[in-house]
Amino acid sequence: MASPHMHLSLRRALRYLLALAACMLPLSVAAQTIPDLVIKDGTVMTASHGTIQHGAVWVHQGKIAAVGTIDEVIKAAPAYATVVSAAGKYVTPGIIDPHSHSALGTDVNEATSPVTPSMMMIDAFDNTDRALYFALAGGVTTELLLHGSANMIGGQNISIKNRFGRSRDEMLFAGAPRTIKFASGENPKRVYGSRNQLPSTRMGNFEVMRQSFEDAKVYMAIWDAYNAKVAKGDKEAVAPHRDLKLEALSDVLRGKLLVEIHCYRADEFLTEEAIAKQYGYKIRAFHHALEMYKVGGEIAKDGTGIATFADWWGFKDEAWDAIPWNAVMSMREGVKVSLKSDSNDFVRRLNQEAGKMVHYGGATEDEAIQMITLNAAWIMGVDDKVGSLDKGKDGDLVIWNTDPLTSYARAEKVYIDGDLYFDSSLPGYGVTHFTGVMHGGGFGGSDDEDTAEDYDGGAL
């Protein structure tokens, strides 16, 4: 009776240990072999405190040690630091994509039940997927790799640092909070409705969610009672059955997971928030969120952010009211706004997508940069570690040939933890740590691009 549990627990424990070991590795690598780095004389866009002309950044043991004018930084940094000139160039924090399905092969959706919260995306993660390389070459240093949108309650995502060429576990984002993917709207109802299963309507979608949390409440109460007995020293207490699915849902109710919801329509944002309040959890972000401009003021009060497309529209019915001013209008209403790719293509030029926000709605340069750095980090719950050029944050930096908010920008050098991972001037791929064969040809990155073809093609 105990053996399957033993097996699972063992596997999970092992995975946890591996991940833990991985968390130590990059730091120790950085500490021992990565020399201090100073990037100087660039236009430094900090994302948190404006732009510094002729600025400089010092990275020590993988962390940013100083940001400021050339004089300030050079004075602080040791003489033996590697100095890279960024004269005439731009420097930004590493770009962050809070919505990607890259490197998950064809394993994006466990579309056999609308509720699959115990799916762990790390089990599908292929760290040699060339989509990661393309993203790196576009300046992307951090990504949230999500379960797909087939299920109302999908799986638990993984946060990665794009240390392309390192082992799977070395690419995990140490200390990133656990997050879970929910979905709503057309995708779940189409996937299950096409099989004549629940849900096939939006009513069905939300009923499935409510029932799941009702079940989780019961499960949680049983475990709470047991734990209370154990705490009182009751040696006779019998441990209840462990159910991975209900355990994961209980963790949602206990606030241990950041909830990331694929959701397009204004009415559904409101319903999702109502259900979250009813069951006592918080929604970290709505993803896609193309109609947020209609109800931004209300959602801002709930403290939920959005990860949205810059200008995608019309590819499905629930994207019909999408407008390219959505991001800036929602931001002006107080919503924390980030852009995202949901695509192996767009992830390569999120900087251009941010540039469009200057055009559509008049975002300032700082606001536009924040949408692909600091705010995206917040969506993932890692804004204390990455997303801006501030002392103490990870040394994730991009040197661009020109202003990254223009059509003309190319990422020239990409650093993660102060270590150079991509250099466009190098021959071949331009990568510094990758050897071997890149994989690819999986899902294509998007769950929503060319929806009909993807689904008809059996991607789900």
Partner 1 sequence: MTKFNRVILSAIALAFAAASAHAQAIMVDTTPHPGVIAIVGGKLLTVSHGTIENGVLLIENGKITAVGTAAAVKVPKGATIVDAKGMTVYPGLFDAETNLGLTEVASDQVNNDLVEPSDEIFPQMHVYDAFHAETEHIPIDRFNGITTAIVAPRGTDTMPGQDTLIQLAGHDRDQMILTRDISLAMNFGDGQKRGGGFGAAAGGPRFPTTRMGEISQLHQALIDAQEYMKARAAAANKPAETEPPASDSGRGRGAPSAKFDLKNEALIPYLKGEKPVVIGVEEGHDVEAIMELAQEFHLKIILSRVTHSQGVLDKIASYHVPVIIGPIYDLPEAGERYDAVYSLPAELAKRGVKVALASYENEFIRNLPYAAGYAVAYGLPYDEALKSITLNPAEMFGVADKYGSLDTGKVANVVIANGDPLDVRTDVKQVYIDGIAIPMVTRQTRLRDEYMPKQ
Which residues in this chain contact partner 1 in the complex, by CB under 8 A?
130-131, 133-134, 137-138, 186, 293-294, 297, 311-317, 319-325, 329, 332-333, 344-345, 348-349, 352, 355-356, 358-359, 401, 405-410, 424, 428-430, 438, 440-441, 450-453
SS3 366: helix
- Give the side-chain half-sphere CA count within 13 A for 95: 35
Q: Which is nearer to partner 1, 73 or 183 (CB)?
A: 183
Q: Which is nearer to partner 1, 279 or 313 (CB)?
A: 313
Select from 120, 38, 128 the least CA-distant residue to 86: 38
Q: Which is nearer to partner 1, 226 or 360 (CB)?
A: 360
CB of 126 vs partner 1, minimal distance in Å:
14
* Cis? peptide before 98, omega within 30° of 0: no
SS3 338: strand
Measured CA to CA in angstroms, residue 293 lies from 189, 299, 329, 350, 368 at distances of: 24, 10, 6, 21, 17
CB of 411 vs partner 1, minimal distance in Å:
9
CB of 276 vs partner 1, minimal distance in Å:
23
Q: Which is nearer to partner 1, 134 or 281 (CB)?
A: 134
CB of 307 vs partner 1, minimal distance in Å:
19
Helix, strand, coil distribution of the chain in percent, nearest 5: 35, 20, 40
Q: Which is nearer to partner 1, 169 or 268 (CB)?
A: 268
> Identity (one letter) of the amino acid at 287?
H
Q: Is 412 exposed, middle or buried (0-12, 13-18, 19+ CB in 10 A)?
A: buried
CB of 391 vs partner 1, minimal distance in Å:
31
Contacts 24+ apart (CB under 8 A), 272-275: 272/182, 272/184, 273/298, 273/299, 273/302, 273/304, 275/206, 275/209, 275/210, 275/213
CB of 428 vs partner 1, minimal distance in Å:
7
CB of 207 vs partner 1, minimal distance in Å:
24
Looking at the chain, how many residues does it have?
460
CB of 210 vs partner 1, minimal distance in Å:
27
Between the two ends of the chain, the Cα-to-Cα distance in Å is 34
- Give the side-chain half-sphere CA count within 13 A for 52: 26
